[in-house]
Structure 1
Amino acid sequence: MALKDPTDAPGDTASIAAGSPATTTTPEAPKGDILPPTEPSSNSPPAKSTPARTRTETIIIMLALCSSLFLVALDSTIITTAVPTIAADFNSSLGYTWVGSAFMLSNAALVPIWGKVSDIWGRKPVLLIATTIFFLGSLLCAVSQSMAMLIASRAIQGGGGGGILSLVNICISDLFSLRQRSFYFGMVGLVWAVAAASGPLLGGVFTSEISWRWCFYINLPVCGVCIVILFFFLKLHNPRTSMREGLAAVDWMGSMTVIGGTTMILLALEFGGITFPWDSATVLCLIIFGSVMIGLFAVIEWKIAKYPVIPLRIFKATANQAALSIAFFQSFVFQSGAYWLPLYFQGAKAHTSLQSGYYLLPFIVSLAFFSTLAGLFIKKTGQYKLVIIAGMATMTLGFGLFIDLDKNSPLVKIIIYQLIAGIGVGPNFQAPLLALQTNVAPRDIASSTATFSFFRQIAAAISIVVGGAIFNNEMDTHYKSLEPSLGVSLAARFSGHNAATSVTMVRSLPEAQKELVEALYAASLSKMYIMFAVFGFVGTLAALFIQQKTLSRDHVEHKTGLKSMQAEHNRNSNSDEEAAPQSEKAQVSA
């Protein structure tokens, strides 16, 4: 049995001989696409080119890819404002933790696997499978009749979402040259930022005006349209790998250890300080055994796996380490804005969840605009290192300014601080990925892109937990000062991990008590932003090690499938040299 693609052209479905090149040079964007065609390099391997894409086809494909990615980003945050209502409907406090965590856990744990699977069976079939899984998970979430069913459905949804997250960037890498790619990566960054930041607002609207179930129903028609469009319009090489051969080539030991290790560590972070004490046997065992599993994963990828999920050669170059570090730190800091700024507006300013969404607009608009602007700038100049450094430095400044926010901060100051933070966050959603791709071999594009997404998702999960731990500890330290004014019972509602879930009570407090609680929310969040500013600064230092290369306009199509993988493996099995830079003529600038 082979995974087949009805839209494949004859040139795309031809088998690759065991020793033939795994890449095909094709003119970029012919027949009315965004850029005029460029001639293939004279030293590129001769092979048949893929069918030309018209401008209309390119627009349709990108709309489908961005729409599917929008839904994944949206579902990572849309549930935050709906969780209290969901928990009340099912009469289960378990939902406060697990409705969001189940999605994040499966998403982060499975992200590394999708890239290598697409190398074996091709990008299009695997993307369609991931989108279908996300569709089914969304449907099950929408019709859930119990909290347990909803949590399980969110895990299914997150697993499919991890595939979409990886495959969208991988498909764009296969469709466009490095120079052209920067523009489309900018679009992807815009979509991700807007969706993730606007999720709480949309979740609040659906929950208050219709039903929380529409947080999931809204995915179904969009997913359905995306599946149809991608099925008929996305034209990428289909290796027609048989199921038996493909399953035999999967790095099962590596896959199981990275999934198991990641899940255990994230569970430890989720449980620590809330469900179990940090020094409890449960949390310590999860951390220890999770770390052991990650160590085993590294050994397997280094010494055993023929086709590793994450080839360790990706980490050899300092520039690659820098790009992945930036992915981690940028995601870590951005998540604090999307997750904790609404709490500032509700806790320190006593606004509703809907109003907090409106007040977040300066952050959303600025990061969306500058994500797109960065893509256009890189496409025009090819200078991505400058964009990365400037973005990380500005982001650090913006989140450092958040330390200054208190309950009396005027709206103008809040808007200006958000604009600065958004200007810094926007450019680095995708620019570090471009820097990474210029420095790896074509055979490692999918794996390195999936690894990039993995670092981002892990950072997002850790950011919420670590930020929450600092906030909870700060609120705990003020518990005694609340008792005289609020009483023991009410003071307990605004201490520790109860503070975030009790934020809606702030507006109903008598004026004197409200003033006191608002000041404590602002002070606790201010302490938390010190940490995020430090992480931003470390990310800025990492950006200095990015290597600037010239971005070619020539496009090199990477052929997927086992024959291509075997040919690459044979050519490199006896070589200890670092992987060649991407063959799209990316050369170090003078």
Structure 2
Amino acid sequence: MATTPDPDALPPTSSDSVDLDDKRPESVPPFADDDKPPRDFRFWLVFLGISIATLITAIELSAVSVALPTIVKALDGSSFIWVGSAYTLASTAVIPLVGGLAQIFGRRPVILGSLLVMILGSALSGAATSMNFLIAGRAVQGIGGGGISATTTIIISDMVPLHERGAFNGLIGIAWSVASGIGPIIGGALAQNGQWRWLFYLNIPIAGVAAVLMALFLRVPTPPGTMMQKLAKMDWIGNGLVIAATTSCVIALTWSGTQYAWSAVPVVVPLVLGLVGLAAFLVYEAIVPKTPLVPFVLMSTATGISGYVQTFIMPIVMMGLIYYFPVYFQACKGASPIGSGVDELPFALIMAPFGIIAGASVNKTGRYRLQIWVAWVILLLGTGLQITLEYDTPRGHALGFLVLCGIGLGILATTTYFPVLAPLPVSQNGPALAFFIFLRNFAQVWGITIGGTVLQNQLEKRLPPAFRAQLPSGTAIAYATIPLVRGLAEPLQTEVRIAFAQSLRIVWAVLVGIGGIGLAASLAMRALPLRKAVDKNWALERSGEELERSGGEQERTVGAKA
């Protein structure tokens, strides 16, 4: 007698959902219709390991930039732009590859390998004796960081059904927000005390603890096949295309406005080649490989496309705020680098609780569209209000507007992947989330670049000509000016502060326009049901006693149905 299929494991009945054959290998033990994966101490220890791993990636994003001037001086460097870009480039380019490896080789070896690579990269970065040495170490860190971001997200999707995942996303968001909030303070404190190497060395024990937890408690099925069979399944041409195209785009965006003008050949050529390469990658994935990195089905529905567009837009706005609001505090309010980091702390810390609230509401109602719409409106309101900021606007107003932005971003951070996953069967979680993380990381580069370009162009127009003539060209104009503002005599000091406030006003206006694209894209979402099952192929392994008990219960259920 055959068992009745689990209705929650099947695609939702909707014209905007995708129906795929979701067969399971015979080696995977059957689950009763109402049976859920166990949530014993192993589940929570794996979740703890994921949270600890998240701390590393969040600190790398927020803390290192504060310490870079001190690091460059200590290593007798002349430019620190590639210290950040090497990490971003490596972490973004490697994500589709990581998603493919996790699908073919299994989650456990990929997350352990990513943590080990992060440990190696952190050790190399901390031991750096030159800028080139440090850049190489940061690239190794980036490979590990990209692997951690992608694989931890996939593992959560394996462990937690979609309809419950909002609350768990919120809990992960706490780790991210706390690390993002204290990261700049830690980085600044270590740099000021001449201990910048510990900014990298501290990752080693943190990653080590996460690796031990994963090694001991992440017991999931390993896909069958020999090493050669698994290697043959990998989409090597697709990986080569996406890595080359991403590298070309990031190089162009890194050089734009700093080493070369936007219209210069060294920027235009790699940017065009990169964008064409990404388009070619998507076309290739839809037609050629048997095991694609980005299956065409991921973007075959309006809801899925809406989710991916929002996923790309949200980080652009977020990084624009994270990178350029400190410029307002430092240039217009005279705050120190650490002081501006403290000013941004409410922004970081407010994101987590509202992310949890949004996730809990999705759990309770099974709906996600209203939360996303409200979040976009709040984010656009907060960003729009920043357009009213003058150089002498009370600090409390600026902080209040920033808190509004944090509320909107906190909700979006935990809800935008519901429209990505809701149309798909659970078997597509891995590639869907790998592409999700890739777009999110890639968008962060665009957010920094767009904000920097707008600020550069506006400052060139608005700074007093005599003062502007003394400064170097490129986006470094903002950071070259900020340390000088306090020492300027009046009325020049006020004129420079006014120029910064008016220039940043255009940055905020551009971010509002970009955020409007996200809101418009969200209107295409459909209200699809959220699954209450996970992919049994990747469920945590159960003990013999649990399997025996589950099997007996299932036999009784089948007998009753028969």
| TM-score, with structure 1 as normaliser | 0.83
Local SS of the residue matching 1:558: helix
Alignment-derived partner of residue 46 in structure 2: 61
1:412 equivalent to 2:396? Answer: yes
User: Are the counterparts in 1 of residues 390 and 501 from structure 2 also a CA contact under 8 Å?
Assistant: yes
Rounded Cα–Cα distance in structure 2 between residues aligned with 1:317 and 1:57: 36
Q: 1:296: how far off? A: 2.8
Q: 1:301 aligns with which of 274, 281, 285?
A: 285
Bigger shift: residues 240-249 or 431-440: 240-249
Alignment-derived partner of residue 113 in structure 1: 97
Q: 1:559: how far off? A: 4.6
1:509 equivalent to 2:488? Answer: yes
Rounded Cα–Cα distance in structure 2 between residues aligned with 1:236 and 1:462: 36
Local SS of the residue matching 1:521: helix
User: Are the counterparts in 1 of residues 260 and 474 from structure 2 also a CA contact under 8 Å?
Assistant: no
1:83 equivalent to 2:68? Answer: yes
Local SS of the residue matching 1:338: helix
Alignment-derived partner of residue 123 in structure 1: 107
Aligned 1:426-575 pairs, distance under 5 A: 426-479=410-463, 481-483=464-466, 486=467, 488-489=469-470, 492=471, 496-559=475-538
Rounded Cα–Cα distance in structure 2 between residues aligned with 1:247 and 1:343: 48
Rounded Cα–Cα distance in structure 2 between residues aligned with 1:319 and 1:487: 48
Alignment-derived partner of residue 39 in structure 1: 34
Rounded Cα–Cα distance in structure 2 between residues aligned with 1:58 and 1:312: 32
Rounded Cα–Cα distance in structure 1 between residues aligned with 2:392 and 2:110: 51
Alignment-derived partner of residue 73 in structure 1: 58
Alignment-derived partner of residue 570 in structure 1: none
1:550 partner amino acid: P
Bigger shift: residues 58-67 or 246-255: 58-67
1:53 partner amino acid: R
Rounded Cα–Cα distance in structure 2 between residues aligned with 1:39 and 1:487: 69
Q: 1:487: how far off? A: 7.9
Rounded Cα–Cα distance in structure 2 between residues aligned with 1:232 and 1:414: 47
Bigger shift: residues 271-280 or 386-395: 271-280
Alignment-derived partner of residue 175 in structure 2: 191
User: Are the counterparts in 2 of residues 107 and 162 from structure 1 also a CA contact under 8 Å?
Assistant: yes
2:497 partner amino acid: E
Structure 2, unmatched stretches of 5+, are 1-21, 540-562
User: Are the counterparts in 1 of residues 258 and 474 from structure 2 also a CA contact under 8 Å?
Assistant: no
Q: 1:532: how far off? A: 0.3
**C-alpha distance after superposition, 1:69-102 (max 9, x if no partner):** 121122022111111111111222232x101010
Bigger shift: residues 431-440 or 387-396: 431-440
Pair 240,87 (structure 1): closer, same or farther in 2 beyond 3 Å: same
User: Are the counterparts in 2 of residues 364 and 422 from structure 1 also a CA contact under 8 Å?
Assistant: yes
Q: 1:23: how far off? A: 7.7
Aligned 1:144-155 pairs, distance under 5 A: 144-155=128-139
Pair 551,278 (structure 1): closer, same or farther in 2 beyond 3 Å: closer
Aligned 1:262-281 pairs, distance under 5 A: 262-281=246-265
Bigger shift: residues 190-199 or 245-254: 190-199
Rounded Cα–Cα distance in structure 2 between residues aligned with 1:429 and 1:439: 19
User: Are the counterparts in 1 of residues 422 and 531 from structure 2 also a CA contact under 8 Å?
Assistant: no
1:423 equivalent to 2:402? Answer: no
**C-alpha distance after superposition, 1:168-187 (max 9, x if no partner):** 11000101112222211222
Q: 1:437: how far off? A: 1.4
Alignment-derived partner of residue 558 in structure 2: none
Pair 26,464 (structure 1): closer, same or farther in 2 beyond 3 Å: farther
Rounded Cα–Cα distance in structure 2 between residues aligned with 1:344 and 1:366: 20
User: Are the counterparts in 2 of residues 174 and 236 from structure 1 also a CA contact under 8 Å?
Assistant: no
Structure 1, unmatched stretches of 5+, are 1-16, 28-37, 41-48, 561-590
Local SS of the residue matching 2:536: strand
Q: 1:25: how far off? A: 6.5
Pair 256,210 (structure 1): closer, same or farther in 2 beyond 3 Å: same
Pair 404,250 (structure 1): closer, same or farther in 2 beyond 3 Å: same
Pair 487,535 (structure 1): closer, same or farther in 2 beyond 3 Å: closer
Rounded Cα–Cα distance in structure 2 between residues aligned with 1:426 and 1:497: 30
Local SS of the residue matching 1:504: helix
**C-alpha distance after superposition, 1:393-430 (max 9, x if no partner):** 11111111111112111122122211211111101113
User: Are the counterparts in 1 of residues 426 and 534 from structure 2 also a CA contact under 8 Å?
Assistant: no
Rounded Cα–Cα distance in structure 1 between residues aligned with 2:137 and 2:256: 24
Pair 21,334 (structure 1): closer, same or farther in 2 beyond 3 Å: farther
Local SS of the residue matching 1:80: helix
| TM-score, with structure 2 as normaliser | 0.87
1:94 equivalent to 2:73? Answer: no
User: Are the counterparts in 1 of residues 91 and 143 from structure 2 also a CA contact under 8 Å?
Assistant: yes
User: Are the counterparts in 2 of residues 399 and 532 from structure 1 also a CA contact under 8 Å?
Assistant: yes
**C-alpha distance after superposition, 1:156-195 (max 9, x if no partner):** 1011111111111100010111222221122223333443
1:65 partner amino acid: I
Rounded Cα–Cα distance in structure 2 between residues aligned with 1:487 and 1:535: 29
Rounded Cα–Cα distance in structure 2 between residues aligned with 1:18 and 1:452: 24
Percent identity between matched residues is: 29
Rounded Cα–Cα distance in structure 1 between residues aligned with 2:43 and 2:309: 32
Pair 457,495 (structure 1): closer, same or farther in 2 beyond 3 Å: closer
User: Are the counterparts in 2 of residues 22 and 558 from structure 1 also a CA contact under 8 Å?
Assistant: no
Q: 1:201: how far off? A: 2.6
Please identify runs of 4+ aligned residues in structure 1 that moved more than 6 A.
21-25
1:392 equivalent to 2:371? Answer: no
User: Are the counterparts in 1 of residues 94 and 146 from structure 2 also a CA contact under 8 Å?
Assistant: yes
User: Are the counterparts in 1 of residues 460 and 468 from structure 2 also a CA contact under 8 Å?
Assistant: no
Q: 1:206 aligns with which of 190, 210, 215?
A: 190
User: Are the counterparts in 2 of residues 25 and 555 from structure 1 also a CA contact under 8 Å?
Assistant: no
